[in-house]
């Protein structure tokens, strides 16, 4: 098993003829992901790589190909619009790789996705992979290995580092999900923890957080209350400087929360084994499994 | 991107929020002329992107135009938290009956813009929030409807018992919310929102920060950037498409991805070193970005060793390798460099580096240990 | 029994110190309606008629008095805002008497009310009455009589005419609901028909429609499919001229529908006894009961 | 309130929608001057609130400025569907490659603004809707989000296969939707939306109707009202706060409430008469409104009897009685009057009427029968 994506994933690539979209569409096709459609307004009727039909709109793509999942590689200025379009067209799972989305766009896109019962992963995320089954996004398939560890992370390349550690030491993954580092994201740690908890194949969970916000603290509470499987965690940013801040609103709303120390303490209190460095992931998992 | 007070006041004014008169000056003579035009007592305020201007001596009252000129002379060129004052705001010294606080910020938890108000405004607002949180009232605004009239009025009554003042404050809040979305703000703050002895409600001081991701589609707002008020190396990094924050250590770090960059810095510290910077070359780097990154790192005299840590994915390892080689043809690195480079096109990259006389490691811990050793002069 | 309001109705009057609000608040109090609060911004702390506490906001009124129903008498320009406020404050039933609300205000207020699970009656309606129990709005209590006929109507004074016919001939009412004549309203015929169908005390339903729109046609379908109780209907506007119309959009969207003849035909097809004139209501009811 | 074409074009232009040049004229000389300024062929279009202008001869092409002047002379003063042409639009005669339709209206069923588009635009759009409804594409816009870019583009592709034209049409739709809410419209229509031979997309003709309830808060839009283009008695009724529509019958009706007014007219017909008008004195009538109502009714020479039908509720019966009495002191009614008056303050009202020599009935059917009898001269 796996979470969110597997062999039944039928993918439409929004921005399939763009630089990033075409490169990664080929990578995903090579990995075995069922890429059933692409969308680029004005290129409807063409075929991508002589194989994948391209449509002007996601609605047409869904109608013609029964796509159930979408991945977004369009420029930041129109990425929110692509999210709206995917949700409006009945796509159930939307993965937005694009980085640099205005946060205020997300304040409007998130309730829209939510109202339609869809799930958004990202934006500004590497996507996800269920090794051996399906890969949606940009996580290099070559570093992953099918297995039983669930990985969820706010970062991109740091996730690769952790997956690399796991795979090279024989720990395959059920699914690896990069939820994205932006302030407003569609799928958070708790959503992924719940899915991994429900996935019978996943035996342990690796959770990679970073400074800023309180998602990790809430996730820790959730782990304490609900998760029976072993969880190993990491927090990046212990040495990061506190950002120069204008105004008082940030301090008022978040108080002193968001530091690495606070998050590590919350992890420890919740019984999460905390890595000091990425290379600790395998030794800690060994202890817990 | 942070705006200056005078820029924020302009935006508020354009959105119909009552703001006292006043304008910006860059020389003592201009300050004097503005003070004469305003007449009466004025306040001279340093325009820098830092809090605590008052305590640092960057805000001074002047009874006469001559005094305003003298104050301007004192404040212009002053350093506040490392930033040189290049602009000052000259505004009338308002008579104030009460000081409140109104702020809007995007809140991660509710995933909405949150309006915060407090009848106890002014410079101690953070202390108010910490010690008497019940004096801070918050409302997460549903972006589908905006800040509704009754919601704004409810907040207005938290500030003022008088219905006219409550309505005036509500109107200001709705306009501030409108401005927030219109300019693509991440923060908009009126502190203090004052009442004058005649009962009117005005925005005395304003702060607005813009979400950098909004700038591309808002050239008018992007044009407000004042690079003279920012650290030069950060300006250079941004121009090159890099995210860079200077620190005090001696290991210059060049990493792809913010999370890996932070983890790398943490590992530098773990092995006894100190990172000289945070530097993220971003997702789809090209060789030129790497050249710019090395130029910025090597311009820091504290840097004793350079650490590359790249896990190629969307970033291609060969692009990074080419950038490193190109940089060394353009300028001298002066300090030792340790390169860790794996992932997409790794083999091509290693080949490129080898031909140029560099070697690349594959393990992150090994690379960090070596870099720390080189920076500190101790054996790894 | 009755629908929507009864002895448990705890009413807050929005605009209680205004000309219409104060007049009708007194009328409702005299009728026996539990008027527990009034709202006029700036007059919080006062008492209306030495009895009803006045608040600055509906939220405060609900907090202090547990009001569950609101009636709106504020001017048209701020009436939509009053609807938003009532819904936002947890009011379950909102009756908007005010006429002249901009239709575009309603396009925004209706989903807001709906999202909060509240019911809006109106705007531009006479309100409703459950004779002998509670009256909310402006229907003259003196013309009503407790009984078993449910009345639902798009008009104001035409409703009074029908109620008058019923009461003077000995047919009391379970509830009378004026749903309002505006293009966009919160509660339509079908909502009321369903409620009357569920009300064991109601034995027959009188439904008063008029030209314009297709609400009556849809209601007729609903009666045919779902309503077992006898229904007597009236359509006003057989002699009304077709309005001079600019543009084509109206014709495109509604085709030829909305005429009295079409609505009467729909009623007849659904087994609704159709009055030729208001005075027919009692004879037709007699036939059906 | 209906706007003239030239006013609707101005609104579209202000909202950034491409509209061909052109301006309004009220004299043949002005028309000539405008035609000269535009150069080339122009079209002279009557500005009246009625459809079918072209078929009525209210739209003429002119090859020269002199011809434009002649056309203007012919069209100004012309009657179209009872309305006198007082203004004409002079616009360039555009070369047209295709004609589409874009309209927005508030839809009762979805309770939303609905955008409708059709690639088959022009004067026969209603026939297109009736005979080939599949050529009309509709989208009910969620007011919480507005017309989203992808939705507008989806509709744009229904009009044009070319992506640039689809995007241009989408942009126009989003701006039209913005204008719709900004001006408080109940209808906004571009028909035809044309493509020119060079491929650009333009709004050739526009119609906008404003929700009358929006006018109070939009004085700039209210100022666009052209009373010279409306029936004088309807203008007088609106000024008096009444809703009035003239009909061809002989029983003048004065009723409170639209539903009861229609039911009263229906009952007049039921008893063999014909209503002379629809007239609703509204919810909270004062005596002066009743006076105005009687003045308007009695100014219609067709009226042979006046029928009052008032069921007092929020309207007070004594107010109505006072109004009737006051009217008779101001002018002669000339025709018999039947009054039916019950409800709030009925007793006081009956007393007022009695003292002035009037009697009041309590039954609606009785009153209508009597009024019809008096109008037709037959016994009730």
Write down the catalytic residue from D101, D160, D177, D346: D101
Exposed/middle/buried for D228, CB within 10 Å: 0-12, 13-18, 19+?
Answer: exposed
Please tell me which residue, D165 or B128, carries the higher pLDDT value.
D165
- Asked if D45 and D59 touch (Cβ cutoff 8 Å), the reply is yes
Assess whether D284 and D368 both reside in one domain. Answer: yes
Q: Does A20 touch chain B (CB under 8 A)?
A: yes
Q: How far lies A141's CA from each of B283, B320, B363, in Å?
A: 17, 20, 19
- Nearest-neighbour CA in chain B from D179: distance (Å): 17
Q: What is d(CA D275, CA D248) in angstroms, rounded to the nearest whole number?
A: 7
At residue C218, the pLDDT reads 95
Q: How far lies A70's CA from each of A9, A28, B235, B313, in Å?
A: 9, 13, 37, 20
Assess whether D351 and D318 both reside in one domain. Answer: yes
- Nearest-neighbour CA in chain C from D64: distance (Å): 30
At residue B344, the pLDDT reads 84
Q: What is d(CA D96, CA D123) in angstroms, rounded to the nearest whole number?
A: 14
Query: Considering only residues 128 to 157 of chain A, which have any Cβ-Cβ distance to chain B shorter than 8 Å?
Result: 138-140, 143, 153-157
Assess whether D80 and D110 both reside in one domain. Answer: no
C-chain CB neighbours of B149 within 8 Å are 78, 81, 84
Assess whether D213 and D256 both reside in one domain. Answer: no
Examine residue D339 and state whether it is found in any structural domain, yes or no: yes
- B85: domain CATH number? 3.30.1490.20
Determine the average pLDDT of the residues in D67-79.
94
CB contact under 8 A, B145 and D144: yes
Assess whether D199 and D239 both reside in one domain. Answer: no
Q: What is d(CA A117, CA A4) in angstroms, rounded to the nearest whole number?
A: 14
Q: Does B231 touch chain A (CB under 8 A)?
A: no
Angle at D247 between CA D324 and CA D239, to 5 degrees: 55
Write down the catalytic residue from C114, C164, C191, C248: C248
Output the tens digit of pLDDT for each of chain A's 289 residues.
799 999 999 999 999 999 889 999 999 999 999 999 999 999 999 999 999 999 999 999 999 999 999 999 999 999 999 999 999 999 999 999 999 999 999 999 999 999 999 999 999 999 999 999 999 999 999 999 999 999 999 998 999 999 999 999 999 999 999 999 899 999 999 999 999 999 999 999 999 999 888 899 999 999 999 999 999 999 999 888 765 445 566 666 666 567 899 999 999 999 999 999 999 999 999 999 8
Q: Write out the catalytic residue numbers of B.
A: 101, 189
Range of the domain at D371: 231-376
The residue among B160, B195, B222 that closes a domain is B222
Determine the average pLDDT of the residues in C33-54.
97
- Asked if D19 and D206 touch (Cβ cutoff 8 Å), the reply is yes
CA atoms within 13 A on the CB side of C232: 23
CB contact under 8 A, A81 and D149: yes
At residue B216, the pLDDT reads 93
- Nearest-neighbour CA in chain C from B33: distance (Å): 44
Per residue in C171-198, is it b (16+ CB within 10 Å) or e — as a string?
bebbbbbbbbbbbbbbbbbbbbbebbbe
Assess whether B74 and B122 both reside in one domain. Answer: no
Examine residue D293 and state whether it is found in any structural domain, yes or no: yes
Query: Considering only residues 343 to 372 of chain B, which have any Cβ-Cβ distance to chain A shorter than 8 Å?
Result: 343-344, 364-365
CA nearest D142 in B: which residue?
B144
Examine residue D164 and state whether it is found in any structural domain, yes or no: yes
Q: How is residue A177 written in tokens?
A: 């999900």
The residue among D190, D222, D254 that closes a domain is D222
Q: How many contacts (CB atoms, under 8 Å) link A and D?
A: 35
Q: Does D146 touch chain A (CB under 8 A)?
A: no
Determine the average pLDDT of the residues in C221-241.
94
Question: Has residue C256 got a pLDDT over 70?
Answer: no
- Asked if B303 and B333 touch (Cβ cutoff 8 Å), the reply is no
Q: What is d(CA B157, CA B164) in angstroms, rounded to the nearest whole number?
A: 10
At residue B31, the pLDDT reads 95
The model's pTM:
0.94
C-chain CB neighbours of B139 within 8 Å are none
At residue A135, the pLDDT reads 97
Q: Give me the domains of chain A, ranges plus CATH numbers.
A: 10-121 (3.40.50.720), 139-288 (3.40.50.261)
- Among residues B305, B311, B299, which one has the least CA distance to residue B234? B299
Angle at C175 between CA C171 and CA C181, to 5 degrees: 110
Assess whether B79 and B112 both reside in one domain. Answer: no
Max intra-chain CA distance, chain C: 56
Q: Does B108 touch chain A (CB under 8 A)?
A: yes
At residue D380, the pLDDT reads 56
- Nearest-neighbour CA in chain D from C237: distance (Å): 5
Of A57, A82, A112, the CB nearest to D145: A112
Question: Has residue D129 got a pLDDT over 90?
Answer: no
Mutate to test the interface with D, among C73, C81, C104 (most CBs of D within 10 A): C104
Examine residue B263 and state whether it is found in any structural domain, yes or no: yes
At residue B228, the pLDDT reads 78
CB contact under 8 A, A238 and B207: no
Query: Considering only residues 213 to 272 of chain A, which have any Cβ-Cβ distance to chain B shorter than 8 Å?
Result: 213-215, 234, 236-241, 243-253, 255
Of A42, A84, A108, the CB nearest to D150: A84
Phi, psi of C6 (to 5 degrees): -165, -155
Write down the catalytic residue from D5, D99, D189, D346: D189
Assess whether D150 and D181 both reside in one domain. Answer: yes
- Nearest-neighbour CA in chain B from A157: distance (Å): 6
> Strand C34-39 and strand C10-14: pairing?
parallel
Q: How far lies B15's CA from each of A50, B19, B99, D368, in Å?
A: 53, 10, 21, 58
List D114's β-bridge partners, or say none.
D105, D140
Per residue in C219-243, is it b (16+ CB within 10 Å) or e — as a string?
bbebbeeebebbbbbbbbbbbbeee
- Among residues D313, B232, B191, which one has the least CA distance to residue C143? D313
Examine residue D2 and state whether it is found in any structural domain, yes or no: no
Mutate to test the interface with D, among B144, B181, B182, B217 (most CBs of D within 10 A): B144
Assess whether B236 and B351 both reside in one domain. Answer: yes
- Among residues D189, A48, D215, which one has the least CA distance to residue C246? D189
Q: Does D144 touch chain B (CB under 8 A)?
A: yes
Q: Please list, in sequence order, all residues whose beta carbon lies within 8 angstroms of the beta carbon of residue D329, skipping any fewer than 6 positions away.
A: none
Examine residue B16 and state whether it is found in any structural domain, yes or no: no
Q: What is d(CA B316, CA C118) in angstroms, rounded to the nearest whole number?
A: 55
Interaxial angle between packed helices A76-88 and A103-115, expressed in degrees from 0 to 180 and rounded to the nearest 10: 10
Q: Locate the DSSP E strands across chain A.
A: 10-14, 34-39, 47-48, 52-55, 69-72, 93-96, 119-121, 127-130, 134-137, 146-153, 173-178, 204-210, 231-236, 273-274
pLDDT in tens, B159-200: 999 999 999 999 999 999 999 999 999 999 999 999 999 999
- Nearest-neighbour CA in chain A from D130: distance (Å): 26
At residue C259, the pLDDT reads 86
Examine residue D10 and state whether it is found in any structural domain, yes or no: no
**DSSP secondary structure letters along C170-216:** T--EEEEEE--SSSS-SS-HHHHHHHHHH-TT--EEEEEEESSSSHH
CB contact under 8 A, C41 and B145: no
Q: Does B217 touch chain D (CB under 8 A)?
A: no
CA D62 to mean position of chain CA atoms: 30
At residue D67, the pLDDT reads 95
CB contact under 8 A, A56 and D148: no
Q: Does B262 touch chain A (CB under 8 A)?
A: yes
> Strand D83-84 and strand D112-118: pairing?
unpaired
At residue B285, the pLDDT reads 65
Angle at B359 between CA B355 and CA B361, to 5 degrees: 145
pLDDT in tens, A119-137: 999 999 999 999 999 999 9
What pLDDT band is residue C118 in, cutting at 50, 70 and 90? very high
At residue A86, the pLDDT reads 98
The residue among D40, D63, D92 that closes a domain is D92
Coil, strand or helix: which one is A14? strand
- B174: domain CATH number? 3.30.470.20
CB contact under 8 A, D148 and A78: no
Q: How is residue C240 written in tokens?
A: 């009304």
Assess whether D107 and D66 both reside in one domain. Answer: no
CA nearest B145 in D: which residue?
D144
Assess whether D368 and D257 both reside in one domain. Answer: yes
**Is D5 an active-site residue?**
no
At residue D52, the pLDDT reads 78
Q: Quick one: chain D helix, strand, coil %, rounded to 5?
A: 40, 25, 35
List A146's β-bridge partners, or say none.
A173
Q: Which chains touch A (3+ CB pairs under 8 A)?
A: B, D
Q: Does A46 touch chain D (CB under 8 A)?
A: no
B-chain CB neighbours of C57 within 8 Å are 150, 153-154, 157
Residues B223, B225, B227, B232, CA torsion sign: negative
Mutate to test the interface with D, among C249, C264, C274 (most CBs of D within 10 A): C249
Assess whether D83 and D112 both reside in one domain. Answer: no
> Strand B337-343 and strand B305-312: pairing?
parallel
Phi, psi of C246 (to 5 degrees): -100, 145
Region for residue B41 given its phi and psi (left: phi exceeds 0; alpha: psi -120 to 50; beta: otherwise): beta
How many structural domains comprise chain D? 3
Task: Report the run of H or E that residue B24 belongs to, with start and end.
Answer: strand B23-25
- Among residues B294, B282, B255, which one has the least CA distance to residue A237? B255
Examine residue D278 and state whether it is found in any structural domain, yes or no: yes
Tokens 């004005």: give the residue: A42
What pLDDT band is residue C251 in, cutting at 50, 70 and 90? low
- Asked if B258 and B280 touch (Cβ cutoff 8 Å), the reply is yes
A-chain CB neighbours of D155 within 8 Å are none
Q: Does D241 touch chain A (CB under 8 A)?
A: no
> Strand C127-130 and strand C134-137: pairing?
antiparallel
What pLDDT band is residue D378 in, cutting at 50, 70 and 90? confident
Mutate to test the interface with B, among C14, C40, C42 (most CBs of B within 10 A): C42
- D347: domain CATH number? 3.40.50.261
Q: How far lies B62's CA from each of B88, C85, D16, in Å?
A: 13, 47, 47
Which residue ranges of chain B lie beneath pLDDT 70? 283-285, 379-380
Q: What is d(CA B372, CA C139) in angstroms, rounded to the nearest whole number?
A: 85
Q: Does B140 touch chain C (CB under 8 A)?
A: no
Q: What is d(CA B252, CA B264) in angstroms, rounded to the nearest whole number?
A: 11
Max intra-chain CA distance, chain B: 78
At residue B379, the pLDDT reads 64
Q: How far lies C86's CA from each of A80, C55, C76, in Å?
A: 32, 13, 15
Q: Does B157 touch chain C (CB under 8 A)?
A: yes
Query: Considering only residues 6 to 65 of chain D, which have any Cβ-Cβ distance to chain B shorter than 8 Å?
Result: none
List C34's β-bridge partners, or say none.
C10
């Amino acid at each position: 098993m796996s979470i969110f994506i597997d062999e039944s994933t039928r993918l439409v690539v929004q921005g399939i003829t763009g630089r990033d979209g075409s490169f990664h569409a080929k990578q995903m096709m090579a990995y075995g992901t069922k890429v059933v459609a692409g969308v680029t307004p004005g290129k409807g009727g063409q075929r991508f790589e002589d194989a994948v039909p391209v449509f002007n709109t996601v609605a047409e793509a869904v109608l013609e190909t029964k796509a159930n999942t979408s991945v977004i590689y369009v420029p930041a200025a129109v990425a929110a619009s692509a999210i709206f379009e995917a949700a409006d067209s009945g796509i159930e799972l939307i993965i937005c790789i694009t980085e640099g989305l205005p946060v205020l766009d997300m304040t409007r896109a998130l309730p829209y996705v939510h109202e339609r019962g869809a799930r958004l992963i990202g934006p500004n995320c590497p996507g996800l992979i269920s090794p051996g089954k399906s890969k949606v996004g940009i996580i290099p398939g070559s570093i992953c290995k099918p297995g039983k560890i669930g990985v969820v992370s706010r970062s991109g390349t740091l996730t690769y580092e952790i997956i690399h550690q796991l795979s090279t030491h024989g720990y395959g993954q059920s699914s690896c999900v990069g939820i994205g580092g932006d302030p407003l994201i569609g799928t958070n740690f708790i959503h992924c923890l719940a899915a991994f908890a429900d996935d019978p194949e996943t035996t342990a969970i690796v959770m990679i957080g970073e400074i800023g916000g309180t998602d990790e603290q809430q996730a820790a509470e959730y782990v304490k209350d609900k998760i029976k499987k072993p969880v190993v965690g990491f927090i990046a940013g212990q040495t990061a400087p506190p950002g120069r801040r204008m105004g008082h609103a940030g301090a008022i709303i978040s108080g002193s929360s968001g530091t690495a120390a606070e998050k590590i303490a919350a992890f420890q209190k919740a019984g999460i084994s905390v890595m000091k460095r990425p290379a600790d992931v395998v030794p800690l998992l060994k202890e817990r499994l | 991107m942070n705006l200056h007070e005078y820029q924020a006041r302009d935006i508020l004014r354009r959105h119909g929020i009552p703001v006292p008169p006043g304008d910006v000056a860059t020389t003592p003579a201009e300050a004097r002329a503005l003070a004469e035009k305003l007449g009466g007592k004025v306040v001279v305020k340093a325009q820098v992107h830092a809090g605590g201007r008052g305590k640092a001596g960057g805000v001074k009252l002047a009874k006469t135009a001559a005094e305003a000129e003298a104050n301007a002379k004192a404040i212009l060129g002053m350093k506040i938290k490392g930033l040189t004052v290049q602009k000052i705001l000259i505004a009338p010294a308002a008579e104030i009956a009460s000081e409140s606080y109104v702020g809007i910020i995007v809140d991660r938890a509710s995933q909405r813009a949150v309006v915060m108000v407090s009848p106890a405004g002014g410079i101690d607002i953070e202390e108010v929030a910490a010690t008497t949180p019940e004096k801070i009232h918050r409302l997460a605004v549903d972006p589908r409807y905006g800040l509704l009239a009754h919601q704004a009025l409810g907040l207005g009554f938290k500030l003022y018992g008088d219905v006219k003042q409550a309505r005036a404050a509500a109107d200001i809040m709705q306009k501030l919310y409108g401005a927030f979305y219109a300019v693509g703000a991440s923060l908009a703050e009126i502190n203090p929102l004052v009442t004058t002895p005649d009962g009117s409600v005005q925005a005395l001081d304003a702060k607005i920060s813009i979400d950098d991701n909004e700038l591309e589609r808002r050239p008018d707002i992007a044009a407000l950037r004042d690079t003279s008020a920012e650290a030069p190396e950060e300006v250079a990094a941004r121009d090159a498409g890099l995210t860079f924050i200077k620190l005090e250590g001696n290991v210059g770090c060049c990493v792809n991805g913010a999370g890996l960059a932070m983890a790398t810095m943490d590992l530098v510290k773990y092995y006894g070193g100190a990172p000289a910077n945070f530097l993220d070359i971003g997702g789809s780097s090209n060789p030129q970005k790497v050249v710019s990154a090395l130029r910025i790192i090597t311009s820091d005299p504290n840097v004793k060793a350079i650490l590359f840590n790249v896990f190629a994915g969307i970033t291609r390892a060969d692009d990074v390798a080419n950038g490193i080689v190109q940089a060394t043809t353009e300028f001298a690195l002066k300090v030792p460099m340790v390169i860790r480079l794996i992932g997409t096109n790794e083999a091509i990259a290693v080949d490129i580096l080898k031909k140029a006389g560099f070697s690349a490691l594959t393990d992150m811990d090994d690379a960090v240990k070596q870099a720390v050793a080189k920076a500190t002069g101790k054996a790894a």
